[in-house]
Amino acid sequence: MPEKLIIGVTDCSKYPNYARWMLAHGDNIELLQLSYKTNNIEDVKKCHGIVLTGGEDVHPRFYNKPELYKYCYEDDISEARDEFEWKLLEYTEANAVPVLGICRGLQIGNVFFGGTLIPDIPRWGKFNHAKLVDDSDRYHSIHVDPASWLFGLIGEQTGIINSNHHQSADLIGEGLIVSALSPDGVIEALDRKEPAGKSFLCLIQWHPERMENQLSNFVQPLRNAFVKACEEK
């Protein structure tokens, strides 16, 4: 195990939330901010693990559906960020680096593996999963597949998670499988279909870094498992 774990965390407007959450795990963690703004892509080589954070919509051209652009939040798209994080995923897959993808992290991850996105959940006939009118997170129940890899980490088939997103996974990427759903069928987590012998990859739609209950099984076990995988890298 390395003396100091270097965790790369992708840049976003809420970066301090992710930084606090990761550093709360223990003193052996050092963070490295990976940013498309500075294009410090080479710094990924220093990292024992990567956290893909939330933020902008993924541009539909990355999943070959540019016609869906009109359903995106046009002021909230960064193709430069998409391209930067695509390169990160190329590196993590090629070098077996653990990845924890949160919210947008799930979405760019699914697209990277060949999947597509629902560009605006309410327009596709589902309940709104975005923040409430007072700017706070929405909370709803979740169902975890008891046969999934994720269930092995969480140990619960149902629970309550927070929610603040208007896009979600649609067609699932190659080698991935759905491990959790909201009651209305929105995909809340993706696992590797065959995780044995492959690097840690946990893609979740909720925000554990700002859940009200930090002792929830939908928070602590995920960070613990991710850090453990980084230690073993």
Query: Residue 105 contacts by C-beta under 8 Å, 6 or more apart in sequence?
Result: 10, 51, 52, 53, 54, 99, 203, 204
**Catalytic (active site) residue 103:** yes
- The structure tokens listed for 109 are 């991850």
Q: Is 210 exposed, middle or buried (0-12, 13-18, 19+ CB in 10 A)?
A: middle
49, 229 contact by CB (below 8 A): yes
**Catalytic (active site) residue 207:** yes
**Active-site entry in 56, 85, 188, 209:** 209
**Active-site entry in 103, 129, 166, 188:** 103
**Active-site entry in 48, 59, 165, 207:** 207
E strands, the chain, in order = 5-10, 29-34, 49-52, 99-102, 117-118, 138-144, 158-163, 168-169, 176-181, 187-192, 201-204
Given 3-state DSSP classes, what are the helix, strand and coil percentages for the chain, each rounded to the nearest 5? 35, 25, 40
Helices (H), the chain: 15-23, 79-95, 104-112, 149-154, 220-232
Between CA 52 and CA 195 the distance in angstroms is 19
Query: Residue 214 contacts by C-beta under 8 Å, 6 or more apart in sequence?
Result: 220
What are the residue numbers of the active site?
103, 207, 209
